Amino acid sequence: MKDIKNIFFDLDHTLWDFDKNSDLTFYKILETNNIKIDVSIFLHAYHPINRNYWNLYREDKVTKQHLRFYRLSDTFNQLNFNIDDEMINKLAVDYIEHLSDFNHLIPDSILILEELKSRYNMHIITNGFKEVQQRKLIKSGLMDYFQTITISEDVGVKKPDKFIFNHAISKANAKIENSIMIGDNYNADILGANNIGMKSIYFNFHNTQENDKKDVYIIQHLKQILDIL
C-alpha cells in the first residue's frame, strides 16, 4: 500500500494483551488482599460485566469512578460473595496500580513493529485512563516505537468519536489519505476510522462477523499486516 505513511494502532487487545495481563492482576490483588474466592470463577463472571461497563463508558453513560467500582461490585454480587464497599474500593485502586506489573503482548507484536518502524511513522490511539496507558507503554517496551500517543482521557472524547481521530491525525502531522488504523474493536477502531475517511485493518482475532464494509482489511494474526502494508 504505497500511499500509506502513518499507521495508527490501538493498544489494548491489539498490541498489549489486556485479557492475560488483567487476569494475572486479579490473581495477584485478590490473594494480596486475602479474598477467599475461586479466581477463575470470579473472572468468568467479571469479564462480561467489565465489557458492558466499558461499552457504557465509551458512550459516556457512566463515569470512570462508576466503572471502576461497579464492575467489581456487580461481580461479587452475582457470585453472592459478601464484601464491603471499602474493600471493593481498595481492590479497584489496587487493580489500576498493579495492572501494568504484567506486560504480556499479543503474539508477534514486537516482530511486526520492528518490521514496520523503518518504513512508517507509527502512532497510538487508545481509549483508556491516562496514568494506566502510559505505564503500559513504558513498562512493556512499546513506547519507543511510536511518534505520538493519543489517549482518550487526554482528548476528552473516546473512539469512535471523530474528534479523537482528527486530533490524532493533527498531532501526528499526518493526512487522512496517507493513514491507516489497526485495531480489534470494530465499532471503536474500524468504524471510527472509516467515519473520517481513514483506511483500516480490523484485527479480528475473535473471529466475529461484524464487517459490512468492503474497504476494511481483515486479519486474524498480526503477521498478516505484512501482507497488506
Q: Domain map of the chain by residue range?
A: 6-17+105-227, 18-101
**6-17+105-227 shares its CATH topology with 18-101:** no
Find out whether the peptide bond into 160 is cis, omega within 30 degrees of 0: yes
pLDDT at 212: 59
* CATH 3.30.70.1560 holds for 6-17+105-227: no
Mean pLDDT, contiguous 10-residue spans, the chain (229 residues): 94 97 98 97 97 92 96 98 97 96 97 97 95 95 98 95 98 98 95 96 82 77 96
Helices 85-98, 18-32: inter-axial angle, 10-degree rounding: 130
What are the contacts of 54-59 at 24+ separation with CB within 8 A? 57/158, 58/127, 58/158, 58/159, 58/188
pLDDT at 145: 98
Best CA proximity match to 75, nearest among 34, 26, 25, 28:
26
pLDDT at 2: 81
Answer whether 152's CB lies under 8 Å from 12's CB: no
- Tell me which fold the domain 18-101 belongs to: DNA polymerase; domain 1 (1.10.150)
pLDDT at 135: 95
Question: Could you report the per-residue pLDDT of 5-25, keeping only the tens digit for each?
Answer: 999 999 999 999 999 999 999
